[in-house]
Amino acid sequence: MTASPETVTIVMIEDDEGHARLIEKNLRRAGVFNEVVHCESGTAGLKYLFEARTANPNPLLILLDLNLPDMTGTDILEKLKADEHLKRAPVIVLTTTDDQREIQRCYDLGCSVYITKPVNYEAFSQAIRQLGLFLSVIQVPKVP
């Protein structure tokens, strides 16, 4: 059973409030009006995700930053992919790191898409808008 794009909840794990704000703004500009839940640390993110299974019936899509103060994004990715239910939720890694090994590692761990945040803001907002377009067409499985 799949959910329509509108009902998908986007969980954004991002410690930088500015980034989070800019990402959200640009997603909105791209016409993505889904609910965006912003978690400011890895711990908060995991807590929400593992509780959301019962509290939030919507399917989840996860936007993940790798450089978090309390844990690395790859730790979170590992935990998600080890979970029976959460492992099907698409994970989009959106981070400043463009190291090839890091990218490989994330795909090895099962991330769906890896996007490097461009420092140049025009490119950044362009990337987020394209991500928004992408989000509007993909199918997300429902987390049971």
Partner 1 sequence: MPTLRSILGRAGLLLLALGALTLVLVDVGSIWLGSKTQAYGLALERAQRIRVLAGEMQNRLDDAETGQRGYLLTGDPAYLDPYTKATKLVQDSFEQLRPRFRGTPDQPVLDRLIQVADDKLTELRLTIALYDAGQHDQAIAEVKTDRGKIMMDQARGLIANLVESADANIRHSAEDMRWGSSALQIATVAGSIIVVILVTGTGFIVRGYTAQLERASAEVELANHSLEGRVQERTADLMQANEEIQRFAYIVSHDLRAPLVNVMGFTAELEVGLGAIQKMVGAVEAARPDLVGQDARLAVTEDLPEAVGFIRSSTTKMDRLINAILKLSREGRRVLTPEPIDMALLFGGIADSLRHQTAAVGAEITVQEHLPGLVSDRLVLEQIFGNLIDNAVKYLDASRPGRINISARALAGRLIYEVADNGRGIAARDHERIFELFRRSGTQDRPGEGIGLAHVRALTRRLGGIITVRSEFGQGTRFEVDLPRILTAQTESAES
Q: Please give the radius of gyration of the chain, using alpha carbons only, rounded to the nearest integer.
A: 14
| Interaction between residue 25 and partner 1 (CB under 8 A) | yes
Nearer to partner 1, 9 or 26 (CB): 26
Residue 17 β-bridge partners: none
Backbone CA torsion sign across 24, 132, 93, 3? positive
Beta strands at 9-13 and 60-64: parallel, antiparallel or unpaired: parallel
Instruction: Look at residue 78 and give its three-state secondary structure.
Output: helix
| Interaction between residue 18 and partner 1 (CB under 8 A) | yes
| Interaction between residue 1 and partner 1 (CB under 8 A) | no
| Interaction between residue 97 and partner 1 (CB under 8 A) | yes
23 contacts 12 by C-beta, under 8 angstroms: yes
Binding-site member from 82, 99, 107, 139 for partner 1 (CB under 8 A): 99
Binding-site member from 96, 108, 130, 138 for partner 1 (CB under 8 A): 96
Query: What CA–CA distances, in Å, run from 4 to 1, 93, 140?
Result: 10, 22, 8
Question: Residues touching partner 1: how many (CB under 8 A)?
Answer: 19
Site string for partner 1, 45-64 (x = CB under 8 A): --------------------
Nearer to partner 1, 59 or 132 (CB): 132
Separation between Cα atoms, residue 1 and residue 73, nearest integer Å: 29
Binding site for partner 1 (CB under 8 A): 16, 18-19, 22, 25, 67, 96-97, 99, 101-102, 105, 117, 119-122, 124-125
